[in-house]
Each structure stands twice: as structure tokens, then as C-alpha cells.
Structure 1
Amino acid sequence: MPHTFLSHFIRLPLILRTFIIVFISIFGFGMIMHQLEPAAFPTIFDGIWWAVITASTVGYGDLVPETIPGRFAGIILILTGAGFLSSFFVSLAATTVTKQNDILEGKSVFKGSGHMIIIGWNERSKGIIHTLCRQNTLISIALVDESLEKNPLSSKNVHFIKGRSNQDEVLIKAGIMKASKVIITADQDKGELQADMHSIITLLAVKGLNTFVPCIVEILTHDQIENAKRAGADEIIETNIVTSFIMLQSISTQDMVTSFLDLLYQMSERKLMYQDAPLEDIDKDYTTIGIEHLKNGVVLLGIKRGEATILNPPQPFSIEKNDQLILIRSS
């Protein structure tokens, strides 16, 4: 029995073992002083108070032993208890520093829920995180990346996880089972095809652990769109389409490109959303509905009908059942 207790005690963390020894020493010497000198230490608490003050080398002098056995016990407490108490505070400080370093270096587990996981550190993910934190100060984000040595952001909203995003243990550390959404960005250090393959493998790992979590995936090559859909992508962002469009437009007119980029910048301050067409709007004219929304500070951009997206549809145009309104409003 003593051997079993000792083996369990040794396996405890150092700070916990030190605390137990300090607690037993303080409590034990407090009881001993109460027994040796009941006149000077009328209660056990008085003995414990004296033991704490003595072991911490503060020495108020309000309670002191008056007999030789009591003073001898005090000497033993100073020689042993003070050392253990100092060790406890040193261990506590070391544990705090280690814990802080683990968080900074991406070694600690994310313990929250309802958070967003962003995979890959680049200018796009950096911009996404800054915008999300500015719009919602209560949002929690787990950033997963294997190339970073430490958390690149000082925001308390961002928890860094270092590791390969297609490994189960890394995703579990990021809290994949309780995440509300996952954004997978393309690795710009790889070729386009290799980056897409890496993103799709990561998507498979995510969906393998949590089938129901919505996933937004950045794909660079059009040929891999279908593979991303088969892997379970809920939304696919073809970055190169936007880039190609801007470059093509810049050939004909710079003013159009500048206006388009200004529009994109302004969109970051507003919210684009889909809304199911209310029953009372069915069969109504598109222009009439647009005017009604405009009175409330919301702009109707178009309609999503099945797989088709219709922006500024030709008139006359009526809303049908199962249509979705594409709206933009101020944030």
C-alpha cells in the first residue's frame, strides 16, 4: 500500500507534489506547536499561522515559541519548510512561463467551442482574421500552420496551433469537433496543383473528424473543383478567377480596375448575405422588392435561383418560390 501511494505520488506534476509537501509541512508543524505550547498557540490555526509566517521567512513575531522543544521545531521548519515553500513558488513561476511559451509556440490545446478554424498563414488569412476580430470582438479563432514558429498575432481572440493541418492530432488540438466553421487557404509556397492537393487532403481530414462542420476551401486550379466538391467542400473560392478578371480588365482600362478594387475594399465594411425570399414576396416584382429593402438601408444585388446567380436581372422579373435574395447591408 505505501509503495502504491508513493508510485502514484511520484507521477504527479512537480508543482502539485511540492504543494502537497508544503501543505502537509505547514499543517503538521501548526498542530505540533499547538500541542507543544498551548499557551502561546491556543488554537491549531494559530500554529498554522505561525508556520506560514516562519516558513516564508516573514517573521512578524506576533507568535513565537517559548520552550526549547518549540524552538527546536521552529528550527526544523525554517531549515525544511522554507526550502519547500521557495521551491513551490519557483515551480509555480516555471510552470506559468512554460504554459505561456506553449501557447505562444502553438503547443497547447484549444479548449473552446463554437470557434472558427483558419488553416494556413498568409496575407489572405491575415486579412480575414483582422476583419473578423474587428467586426466581432468576442469571436474565437484557431489558426493552424506548420511553418510559423510562434503566434504571429497578439490578439487574445487567436489561438495558434503549430502542425500539419492534415493530421488528426493537430485538428483535434484545434478543437475540430466543436468548431463552427473551417477556412482552408491555399499554400502559396507550393505549386498550384500541389497546393490544391494539400487543401483537398486537409479537407478530407477535417470531414473525416467532423462531417457536419461547414468548410470553405480556396482552390487555385479549375480542374480540382470537382475533387474539392467530392471531398465535401461546402464553399469553394477560385482565387485565380478574380485575379485573372482584374488583370484582363486592367489591359483595357485602369479606371474600371480601380473602381472594382474600391468596391471590394468597401465590401469589407459591409455584409453580403443570402436570405430566403419570404412567402409574401413570391410573385412580386424584383424592382418593388428592391425599393422596399432600400428604404431599410439594404441593397438588393440579385437573386440566387438553384445553381444560377442572377445579378440585376432584366425587367420584368418576378420572385419565385425557393429563390434567395442576395443582399448587402452596412455592418
Structure 2
Amino acid sequence: MVQQLFHQFLRWPLLLRIFMIAISLMTIFGILIHFIEPDTFPSWFDGIWWAIITMSTVGYGDFVPTSNEGRIFGIVLILVGAGFLSTYFITLATNTVMSQNAYIEGKADFKGKDHVVIIGWNERAREIIGQLNSLHFRGQIILIDETLEQNPYRNHHIHFIKGTPFKDKVLKKASMHEASIAIITADQNRNEMEADMHTVLTLLAVKGNHPDVYTVVEILQKDQVINAERAGANEVVQTNMQTSYVMINSIISQGMSKAILKLLNHLRGNHLQLVPITEDCVNETFQSLSQRLLQKNIILLGIKKGEETSVNPPLTTIVEASDELLVITN
């Protein structure tokens, strides 16, 4: 029985073992000195207080053993106990430094839930994190990347995990099974085909760990969009196509790119979003609904029916209960 308890004790963390030994020494020596010199140490609490002060080498002098036996007992306590107490504080400082380095270098596990996981470090990821910070996002943000050497942020709510994102052990370190949203950006160090293949593979790993997590995936090649959808992507962002659309509109109408960015700029309070239909909007025309929303400072741009989104549809279009409204709100 004693041997079994001893083996269990050896499995405890080193810091906890040293602390328990130091506490035990203080208690045992404090109680024993009370029995050795009851006049100098009237209670066992006075003895424990003396043991703590002696082990810490502070030496207030409020309790001092007067007999030879008591002084020898104090010498033994200093030689044995002070070493354990010093080891405890050294180990505590070492563990603190190691934990801080592990956090900076991306080696520390994240323990939490309902967090946002951003995979890949590039300008898109930097802008996403910057936008979330500007919106005073209070949730935890987990950044996964295999090229970064250390956490580019020192904010306590941005946790960095270093590693290959399609490996289970890396996703488990990021608590992917508890995440609410996963954003996968294209790898800027690969060509377009390899980057999309890497993205789809990462998406499969993410969905394998958490099938219900909402995933937003960046795809560069149009042909790979269907593969991302097959892999379970909830939203696919076609970066190259969207960029080309902006450029075409800039050719047709110069200055359009700045207007589009301003339209989508959350820093200025403009939010382009899809909102569900309320009961009072059902069977109403696009024209009348648009006029009514304008009174609430909401601009109606279009209607999403199933998978099809119509921007500026005919004014006589009837709004159905299953539709969603594409609006700009502030």
C-alpha cells in the first residue's frame, strides 16, 4: 500500500512534489519543536510559524530555541528544509519561463471552446485579426502556422500554435473540436495548385476533428471550388475571381475599387450581411420592402433564394419566407 502511494506520488508534477515535501517538513518540524521546547513554543502553530521563517531564512527572531536539542533541531531544519524551499522557488521560476517560451514559440496547448481558428499566416490573416481587434472581439483567436517562429502578437487572447495544420495532433493542440469557426487561408509559399490542394487537405482534417465547425476557405483556382465544397466548406472565398471582378469594375468605372473597399470596411461601421426574413416581410415586393427598410437606415441590395443571390432584382419580386435579404447596415 505504501509503495503504491509512493509510485503515485512520483507521477505528480515536479513542482507539486517539491511543494508538498516543503510543506510537510515545515509542519513536522513545527510540531516537534513544540514538544521539544513547550515553554518557548506554547502552541504547535507557533512551532510551524518558526519552521516557516527558519526554512525561508528570514529569521524574525520572535521565536528562538534555547536548548541545545532545539538548536540542533533548527540546524537540521535549515540544512534540509531551506534546500527544498529554494528548489521549489527555482523550479517555479523555471516553469514560468518555460511556459512563457512555449506560448511564444507556439508549443503550448490551448484549452478553451467557442474560439476562432485562423490557419495560415499572411496578409489576409493579419487583416482578419486586425479587423476583429478593431471590432473589440472578445473571443479567443487561435493562429495555426508552420512557418512562423514565434507568436506575432502579444495579446493574451491570440494564441499561436506552430505546426502543420492538417495533422491531428496540431488541431488537437488548438482544441479544434471545441472551435466555433475555422478560417483557412491559402498558403502564400506555394503555387496556386499546391496551395489549393493544401487548403482542401487541411479542410478535410478540420472537418474530421469537428464536423459541425463553420468553415470559411480561401481558394485560388476556380476548378478547386467544387473540391472544397465536397470536403465540407461552409463558405468558399475565391480570391482571384473577386480580385478580377474589382479590377474589371475599376476599368469600367475608375475609382470603383476604393468605393467597394469603403463599402465593405467594417472600421467605418458598414456591414454587408445576409439577414433572415421576418414574418411581416413575407409576400411583400422588393420595392415596398426596400422603402420600408430605408426608414430604418438599412439599404436593401438583393435577395438570396436558395443558393442563388439576386442583386438589384426586379422591383416586383415577391419575398418568400425561406429567402434571405442582402443588406447594408450600420
- In the superposition, the TM-score normalised over structure 1's length comes to 0.95
Does structure 2 conserve the Cα–Cα contact (< 8 Å) formed by 1:185 and 1:217? yes
Does structure 1 conserve the Cα–Cα contact (< 8 Å) formed by 2:216 and 2:236? yes
1:173-192 mapped onto 2 (5 Å cutoff): 173-192=173-192
1:85-164 mapped onto 2 (5 Å cutoff): 85-164=85-164
Does structure 1 conserve the Cα–Cα contact (< 8 Å) formed by 2:302 and 2:325? yes
The 3-state SS of whatever aligns with 1:300 is strand
Cα distance in 1, alignment partners of residues 88 and 11 from structure 2: 17
Cα distance in 2, alignment partners of residues 266 and 78 from structure 1: 64
- Amino acid of the residue matched to residue 322 of structure 2? N
Deviation at 1:73, TM superposition (A): 0.5
Deviation at 1:105, TM superposition (A): 1.1
Query: Which residue matches 2:22?
Result: 22
Structure 1 pair 117–89 and aligned structure 2 pair: CA distance change class (3 A): same
Cα distance in 2, alignment partners of residues 169 and 227 from structure 1: 24
- Amino acid of the residue matched to residue 21 of structure 2? I
Deviation at 1:165, TM superposition (A): 0.5
Cα distance in 2, alignment partners of residues 267 and 79 from structure 1: 63
| Bigger Cα displacement from structure 2, 188-197 vs 263-272 | 263-272
Cα distance in 1, alignment partners of residues 240 and 267 from structure 2: 19
Deviation at 1:246, TM superposition (A): 2.6
Cα distance in 1, alignment partners of residues 265 and 4 from structure 2: 66
The aligned length equals 330
Give unpaired runs (5+ residues) of structure 1: none
What is the aligned-residue identity percentage?
A: 46
1:194-233 mapped onto 2 (5 Å cutoff): 194-233=194-233
Cα distance in 2, alignment partners of residues 23 and 31 from structure 1: 12
1:35-46 mapped onto 2 (5 Å cutoff): 35-46=35-46
Does structure 2 conserve the Cα–Cα contact (< 8 Å) formed by 1:133 and 1:157? no
Does structure 2 conserve the Cα–Cα contact (< 8 Å) formed by 1:304 and 1:326? yes
- Amino acid of the residue matched to residue 146 of structure 1? E
Deviation at 1:123, TM superposition (A): 0.7
Does structure 2 conserve the Cα–Cα contact (< 8 Å) formed by 1:132 and 1:139? no
The 3-state SS of whatever aligns with 1:254 is coil
Does structure 1 conserve the Cα–Cα contact (< 8 Å) formed by 2:135 and 2:267? no
Query: Which residue matches 1:53?
Result: 53
The 3-state SS of whatever aligns with 1:326 is strand
Cα distance in 2, alignment partners of residues 205 and 32 from structure 1: 61
| Bigger Cα displacement from structure 2, 261-270 vs 173-182 | 261-270
Does structure 1 conserve the Cα–Cα contact (< 8 Å) formed by 2:57 and 2:82? yes
Does residue 294 in structure 1 map to residue 287 in structure 2? no
C-alpha offsets along residues 185-212 of structure 1, whole Å, 9 cap, x if unaligned?
A: 0001101010000000011111111111
Does residue 235 in structure 1 map to residue 235 in structure 2? yes
The 3-state SS of whatever aligns with 1:272 is strand
Deviation at 1:29, TM superposition (A): 0.7
C-alpha offsets along residues 240-272 of structure 1, whole Å, 9 cap, x if unaligned?
A: 012112333444443233323333336763322
- In the superposition, the TM-score normalised over structure 2's length comes to 0.95
Give unpaired runs (5+ residues) of structure 2: none
Cα distance in 1, alignment partners of residues 159 and 213 from structure 2: 19
Cα distance in 2, alignment partners of residues 61 and 137 from structure 1: 54
Cα distance in 1, alignment partners of residues 263 and 17 from structure 2: 61
Does structure 2 conserve the Cα–Cα contact (< 8 Å) formed by 1:106 and 1:150? yes
Cα distance in 1, alignment partners of residues 272 and 241 from structure 2: 19
Cα distance in 2, alignment partners of residues 8 and 306 from structure 1: 60
Cα distance in 1, alignment partners of residues 228 and 90 from structure 2: 52
- Amino acid of the residue matched to residue 40 of structure 1? T
The 3-state SS of whatever aligns with 1:142 is strand
